[in-house]
Structure 1
Amino acid sequence: MASLLPFQDLNCFPNPHTAISNATDPINVGPTPSSRTCFPTLVPKLEPLDDLFEPQEQEQALGNIISTPNPENASANACAGIPQGVPMEDHVYSEFNRISQMFWAAFPDNVQQSGDDNVSNSDSRAIVPVPKENTQVSSVVVATRKRSSQRVKELVRVGDIRIEDERHHRAVVRRTRMVYDSLRILTPMEEKKSSDDSAKRKRPRGDTRAAAMLRYRGMWLNRDKRIVGAIPGIHVGDLFLYRMELLVVGLHCQTQAGIDYLPASMSPNKEPIATSVIVSGGYEDDIDDGDVIIYTGHGGQDAKHSKQVAHQKLEGGNLALERSMQYGVEVRVIRGIKHEGSASSSNKVYVYDGLYRIAACWFELGKSGFGVYKYKLLRIDGQEKLGSAILKHARLLRVDPIFSDSTSCFSLDISLNKENTPVRLFNDIDADDGPLHFEYLTRTSFPHFVFHQSGSATGCECVESCTDGCFCALKNGNEFPYNRNGILLRGKPVVFECGPFCRCPPHCQNRVTQKGMKVRLEVFRSRETATGWGVRSLDVIHAGAFICEYTGVVLTTGQAQILTMNGDSMVYPNRFPDRWAEWGDLSQIYPNYMRPSYPSIPPLDFALDVSTMRNVACYIRRSAAPNVFVQFVLYDHNNLMFPHLMLFAMETIPPLRELSLDYGVADDCTGKLLICN
C-alpha cells in the first residue's frame, strides 16, 4: 500500500471571481487549476443554533461532557462515555470488544520503515490519499500509527459484518434509543412531582437531560473509536426527533456544528478527518438535489438572519472536509428537515440518508458577497432509498393518497369512515384485494357477561381533568399512565383509563386509547410476509405513542376450540410476550429499578376471532424484533379477565416503515395462524 503522502496546501484557492464565472451550473462547478491565487485570511463565525436552546443549558445538563475533550487531560474511559469508577467489564456495552476483529484498523506493529517513508503492509489499512481517478468507497481505509505521547482516537471502518452481528448491533442501538426515549419522556414528569414552588429556575429540556444521564452511565455508543462510514445497527432512513439523540448513538457527535470531525490533536496522523455532516438548509449557498449536494462550509454567518457576514476560513470542519476528500474518506449525511411530526422546538426531524463521497472542494464568493468554501458531495451507489425522499413521498400521500399510482390504490379507506383517519389499501404487486372482504371492526366485540361481571360502576369525581390522588390515579398505582401528549410513560400489566362512570371531560389526560386511531395507516401488499400483507404509517409515530387497537370478536376458550376445527384464525392474548415491560425499563440507569407489577392481571383465557371481522392491526407482520408492543387497557368495563389489546410504538417509527409485532408463537406455528405473518 502507498505511504502517507504530504498533504496539499489548500490555503491558496482559485480566484473567487473566476470561480463564480464558472458557476452557471452549481452541480458541475469546481476550481480550475490554472486560476490559483492566495485569498486573505478568513475569520469564521459560530454555527447557527440548530435546536433553539442556549449553550449554557447544554453545559448545565451535560456538565461540559459533550464537547471534545482535551487529549492532554482526558482519559480514554471519559471519551468512551464511561464514568469514573465504573469497571470496564461492567460497562453495558463491553461486548463491543467481542466484535472488534471486524474493524479494519492500523496498528504500530504493521508499519515498516523504508528509508524516509513509512510503508504499511497489506494489513495496516492506513489512510492514504486516493488518486482522482479512483474515489470508490472500497479504497477507503483508515487509522494509522498511535503516538505514545498523547491519546488519540482510532479511526475505524466496519467491513464484512455478519448477519448475526448486524442484528446484535441493531438490537443494541434500539435498546439504547428506547432507554433514551423513556428517560426523555419520564424525566420531566418526575421533576414535576418533586419540584416545589421555590424551584423556579429554568431546567434543561428532557432530551438534554436524558442524553446526560446516558452519558453518565456510559451508554453513549461508538465513543471509544471514531467510525468512518456506516455505523453498525443504524440503517439508512432511521429518523431521530432530537439532535441530542445523534450524539447518543454516535451518528453525529457535535451539539451545534454541522460538520463532525476528528480534530488533528486526536487524529492518528495529525490531520483532521470529517466523518459526518448535517444538511439542514441553514446556509443560503447550499444546494441539495438529493444524490448531489453542494455543501457550504461552516462559519461567518449571522445565525439570526441566516446570512453570511464574514469570510470563511480553512480550519476546523472546513479543513477536515478537505482532508477527507484528499484521503477518499466518505462522510455520513444526516438531513435536518422541517416536519409536522417533530417534537422539538425547532420543528425538525433528523433523517440518516447514507454515505456520500466528497468529489470537489473550492472557494468562491457567496450570495452575500463573502467568501465561502463549497464541497460537492455525491451519494454512493447501492444504498437504500433516501430517508428524506421517503418523508417527502409520505407527505404527498397525506395530501393526495392516489398521486403516485391510482391503479395500485385499491381503497382510500377500508374502514369506510369508521376510523378517525382513513386506512389506505395499496397493492402494486398483484390484483389481490383480500382486506376488502372483511367487515371492519373498530373496537373489540365483548360478550355481554363481561360488562355484568366487571365489578362496581365507580369512577373519578374530577371536573376539569384528573388530578393526582383521584380515584383513577389510585387504580393505576397512584400515577397517571400518560403524559399531556398522550405518550405512555411506562408499560404496565394493565392500564386503567377513565371510563363512562367518570365525571372528567373527554379531553382528560387519562383518556387516550378510547379515542381511537390518530395516525394514518396503510395496508400494503408485501412479498416479505407469509400472508403477503403488511402495515405502515404515513405519519411519524413517536416512541410510546398509541397506534391502534387489535380488534376481533371475543370467544371463550371452548368456543375458540370449536371454531379452529375449520382453520385457526384466532389471536390468543395470553401468547403475546411481556414486551410492555421493555418500554420504560430503566434498570440500566437505576440499579434498584423494579419492573411494574401493579395493577396485576390474572392469566387471560380468551381468544379473538378475526375470521370475519377485523381491523388494520390484523395485517401487522410478526417479528422477533418488533417496533410495536401490546399494552392491556381497561376503560369501558373493569373486568380484568377481558382487557383491550392496545398497540403502542416501542421506538420512533419513520413514515412508510413497516410495523411489526411479536405474536409470541414459534416460526413453525405462524403458517397455522392465518392472519399472523
Structure 2
Amino acid sequence: MGVNVNQSSTPPLVCVTPVGQFPTGFGSGNLPAFGSFATFSTTWNGVSYSGTSANGPIDATPISAYKTRANISVDGDDEPLSSERKARRGRPPGSGAGSSNGKVKRPKPTNLVAGKELAFLPSSSDPREIVEAVHMTFEALRRRHLQMDETQDASRRADLKAGAIMMASNIRANSGKRVGTVPGVEIGDIFYFRMELCIIGLHAPSMGGIDYMTSKFGKDEDSIAICIVSSGGYDNDEDDTDVLVYSGQGGNSKNTEERHDQKLERGNLALERSLHRKNEIRVVRGFKDPFCITGKVYVYDGLYKIDESWMEKTKSGINCFKYKLLREPGQRDGAAVWKMTQKWIANPATRGNVLLADLSSKAEMLPVCLVNDVDHEKGPGHFAYTNQVKYLRPLGSMKKLQGCGCQSVCLPGDSSCACGQHNGGDLPYSSSGLLACRKPIIYECGDSCNCSTNCRNRVTQKGSRLHFEVFKTTNRGWALRCWEPIRAGAFICEYAGEVIDELKVNLNDSEDDYIFQTLCPGEKTLKWNCGSELIGEVSTYVSADEFQPLPIKISAKHMGNVSRFMNHSCSPNVFWQPVQYDHGDDRHPHIMFFALNHIAPMTELTYDYGIAGSESSGSGSRRSKNCMCGSRNCRGLF
C-alpha cells in the first residue's frame, strides 16, 4: 500500500503514551501540540509505518508488548527451527490471495509528504539500509528537538521525545523480539542513547538492562534473556573482552538509598533460564564518552552464552546475582577494538606498524599516525602538509562577512544576532558543537563579530581534535580513520589545499586525483535532514535534480591535510558542508566534513565524491572512475 497523506487545517493534539520504561513524568503531557501533522500508513520492505488521524491522539504501543515472532521458537533439541522447516509448514507458492503463478504483485510505495521524499521510507529491502534510514531519521528528529529546546532554554530529553514520536508513528526496524542476531545491526556499531537501541530492535527496554521474552522449547515455554546492556552500574568486571561478568538487576532503589537483596524474578530469572537453555544472548557494552563527562557510548559486541551463575555479596552489603558470559567464537571484534584504541590514545607508542608518528609535523593539534599493516610501502607520495586553504587572491581583497554584535557569546533564539539570522534564525550547532542540519552554507562567527572565541558558533575554524590514522588499504591506496568514536553531526576536518582556476586547468584531462568539487552526493547524504516532517515542519529535502553545485574547486595534490586521504563510498559515513567565517564570497566557501552517522573507532572515513554524470550541471567536469567502495548499493562509477 502507498502512503496516505492527509493534511488538516486544525492543529491536532499530539498525545504520546510512554514507550517502554521511560522516566517518571514523561508522557503525553510533556509533548507539545504541533501544527499541521502529515499522517501516513504503510508497510514496506520489512519496516512498518502507520500514522494517526490528524485530529486524534497518537497511540504508542509499549515495546514490551510486542509479540514473539515465529522464527524464534525452538524445537526439542533446543535449536532454532530452520527457515526450510518453517517454509514447509506455510502456504505453498501461489496459494496466497492476489497471487498469480506464484508471483505476488507488490504495490509500489509513494515516499512523499507534501511533495518531498522522506528518509524513513527506504527504497531498498536491505536490512542494513533500513536500520540506517530509521536511525538517521531518529537522529534528525532528536537534533531538531534539541535545537528547539535550547532556543527555549529548556532542559529536556530530546532523545526520549524523538523516540516516542517515532514509536508512536510505528517507525522502527525489527519490531519483533528475537533470539540471536538482529538484521541490519553489525558488531561494533555504536550508539549514544538507549532509545537508539529500541528503535532498531536491538534492545527493547529503554532503561532496563535485561531484555527477555517467552519462547517455546519443544512443548514447553520458558522465559529467556535475549539481550543485555552492560553499562557499568553494578561494578561489572570488563577487563577481558571475551568474558563478561554481569550483575543481575534490582537491589538499588532509584529514589532512596534503600538497598535490598536481588530476587530471582523477571530479568534475573530469564538469565538463569538462559544458562540452562544455552541460548545466544546479544551483549551491548557501555563505555564512558571521551567527549562528554556524563555521557556513554554503547558498543554492540555480538553474541554470548551464559557459562555459570552464582550469588555474592556486594560492597554495599546486598546479595547480588552474577552471571558469567562467554563470547561466541568466530565473530568480528567489537569492544576489543574500543579498548585497543583507548590504549593507543593514552600512549600512541603502543600502536604497532607505525611508519611515521606524526604525518602533520605538528600542524594538527593531535599527531596524525601513518601506518601500514598490509604491505611494505613506506608511505604516500610527497606533499606539503597544511590545514589551510590557499585562495586565488588574498582574503583581505575578498568580500567581508557581516558580523554580529553579541556580548560574550551568541545565544539560541536571539533575534538580534546577525549570525543567527544568516543561518535562518537558528544557530547551526548544539551546545556540544554538533551540527543540527545540513544547509546550503553555514555562517560561523568570525573576526568581524563582537562575541568571544568561546561562542558556540565557532566550531570548524578551531580545527580538528581527533586522533587520525592514515593507513594502507589492500586495493584503494591510502585511507583515513580515527581512534575515537565520532558522533553523527560532529566536525571532522576541512578539505585543505589550493583553490584552482578552472579556466587554466582542464579537469577532464587532469591527472590530479585530489581535486574536490561540490558535485551532487548520493541519496544518503541528501536525506540527512529528513525527520522533522514528523512534527509538522516543512521538508528541507533537496533532490538530485534540485541540487546546485558551487564553483569552488580545491586541489590537494601538492598541499593538503588528512582529508586528501578520504576515499569515495556510495554508502558514506561523512558528508561535506560549505562554511563561511573569514570572508563573504559564498562562491568559494570553506569545505568542512561532518559525520553522517555514528562512526566507530577504526572505521574508514569516506564521503560521496558525487554522482557520475552530475557534472553537467556545472562547469569543469571530471572523468568518471570505476568505484571500488564495495558497499551494498554501489553505483559502479563516481
Q: TM-score range by the shorter chain?
A: 0.7 to 0.9
How many Å separate the matches in 1 of 2:598 and 2:219? Answer: 36
CA contact (8 A) 2:146 2:430 kept: no
Supply the AA of the counterpart residue of 1:619: F
Supply the AA of the counterpart residue of 1:291: D
Supply the AA of the counterpart residue of 1:544: G
Q: Give the SS at the match of 1:559.
A: coil
Pick aligned residue for 2:373 from 411, 428, 450: 428
Q: Which residue in the other structure is 1:80 paired with? A: none
CA contact (8 A) 1:363 1:371 kept: no
Supply the AA of the counterpart residue of 2:372: N
Q: Which residue in the other structure is 1:101 paired with? A: none
Q: Which residue in the other structure is 2:406 paired with? A: 462
Name the structure where helix makes up a greater proportion of residues: 1
For the pair 1:168 / 2:134, whether they are aligned, the reply is: no
1:608-623 equivalences under 5 Å are 608-623=554-569
What is the CA-CA distance between 1:605 and the residue it aligns to? 2.7
Supply the AA of the counterpart residue of 1:205: R
Q: Which residue in the other structure is 1:491 paired with? A: 438
Q: Which residue in the other structure is 2:447 paired with? A: 500
CA contact (8 A) 1:576 1:662 kept: yes
Pick aligned residue for 2:174 from 183, 208, 222: 222
Structure 1 window deviating more from structure 2 (543-552 vs 295-304): it is: 295-304
Structure 1 window deviating more from structure 2 (564-573 vs 532-541): it is: 564-573
Q: Give the SS at the match of 1:213.
A: helix
1:177-576 equivalences under 5 Å are 177-193=135-151, 204-223=156-175, 225-263=176-214, 270-284=221-235, 289-301=240-252, 309-310=260-261, 312-342=262-292, 345=294, 347-360=295-308, 362-367=309-314, 371-385=319-333, 387-405=334-352, 408-435=353-380, 437-448=382-393, 452=397, 454-456=398-400, 458-467=402-411, 468=414, 469-527=416-474, 529-530=475-476, 532-561=477-506, 564-566=509-511, 568-574=513-519, 576=521
Q: Give the SS at the match of 2:250.
A: coil
Supply the AA of the counterpart residue of 1:212: A
Deviation string 1:194-242 (CA, Å, 9 cap, x unpaired) is 57xxxxxx7641221121121122113222x212111111110111111
What is the CA-CA distance between 1:358 and the residue it aligns to? 2.7
CA contact (8 A) 1:128 1:327 kept: no
What is the CA-CA distance between 1:264 and the residue it aligns to? 7.7
Can you give the 5+ residue segments of structure 2 that lack an aligned partner in the other structure? 1-20, 32-36, 51-67, 90-121, 614-622, 629-636
How many Å separate the matches in 2 of 1:221 and 1:62? Answer: 25
How many Å separate the matches in 2 of 1:194 and 1:309? Answer: 41
How many Å separate the matches in 2 of 1:305 and 1:339? Answer: 27
How many Å separate the matches in 1 of 2:151 and 2:437? Answer: 16
1:7-18 equivalences under 5 Å are none
Pick closer, same or farther for the CA change 1:166–1:269 going to 2, 3 Å: farther
Q: Which residue in the other structure is 2:602 paired with? A: 656
How many Å separate the matches in 2 of 1:136 and 1:602? Answer: 52
Q: Give the SS at the match of 1:517.
A: coil
CA contact (8 A) 1:137 1:329 kept: no
Supply the AA of the counterpart residue of 1:652: H
What is the CA-CA distance between 1:572 and the residue it aligns to? 2.1
Pick closer, same or farther for the CA change 1:194–1:288 going to 2, 3 Å: closer
Pick aligned residue for 2:571 from 606, 615, 625: 625
What is the CA-CA distance between 1:282 and the residue it aligns to? 3.0
What is the CA-CA distance between 1:589 and the residue it aligns to? 1.6
Pick closer, same or farther for the CA change 1:410–1:457 going to 2, 3 Å: same
Supply the AA of the counterpart residue of 1:184: R
CA contact (8 A) 1:542 1:652 kept: yes
CA contact (8 A) 1:363 1:373 kept: yes
Supply the AA of the counterpart residue of 2:163: A
CA contact (8 A) 1:466 1:508 kept: yes
How many Å separate the matches in 1 of 2:489 and 2:69? Answer: 43
Can you give the 5+ residue segments of structure 1 that lack an aligned partner in the other structure? 1-52, 64-82, 97-104, 108-123, 146-163, 196-201
- Structure with larger Rg: 1
CA contact (8 A) 1:334 1:352 kept: yes
CA contact (8 A) 1:605 1:641 kept: yes
CA contact (8 A) 2:42 2:49 kept: no
CA contact (8 A) 2:494 2:591 kept: yes
Q: Give the SS at the match of 1:272.
A: strand
What is the CA-CA distance between 1:569 and the residue it aligns to? 4.1
Q: Give the SS at the match of 2:534.
A: coil
Q: Which residue in the other structure is 2:540 paired with? A: 595
Structure 1 window deviating more from structure 2 (291-300 vs 393-402): it is: 291-300
What is the CA-CA distance between 1:661 and the residue it aligns to? 0.6
Deviation string 1:466-516 (CA, Å, 9 cap, x unpaired) is 352322222222222112222111100111122332222222222211111
How many Å separate the matches in 2 of 1:166 and 1:306? Answer: 50
Deviation string 1:525-570 (CA, Å, 9 cap, x unpaired) is 122x42x222111122111111100122111212221794455542
Pick closer, same or farther for the CA change 1:657–1:567 going to 2, 3 Å: closer
Q: Give the SS at the match of 2:506.
A: helix
- Identical columns (%): 33
How many Å separate the matches in 2 of 1:418 and 1:626? Answer: 27
CA contact (8 A) 2:141 2:532 kept: no
Supply the AA of the counterpart residue of 2:379: G
Q: Give the SS at the match of 1:394.
A: helix
Q: Which residue in the other structure is 1:669 paired with? A: 624
CA contact (8 A) 2:573 2:599 kept: yes
How many Å separate the matches in 1 of 2:130 and 2:422? Answer: 34
Q: Which residue in the other structure is 1:56 paired with? A: 24
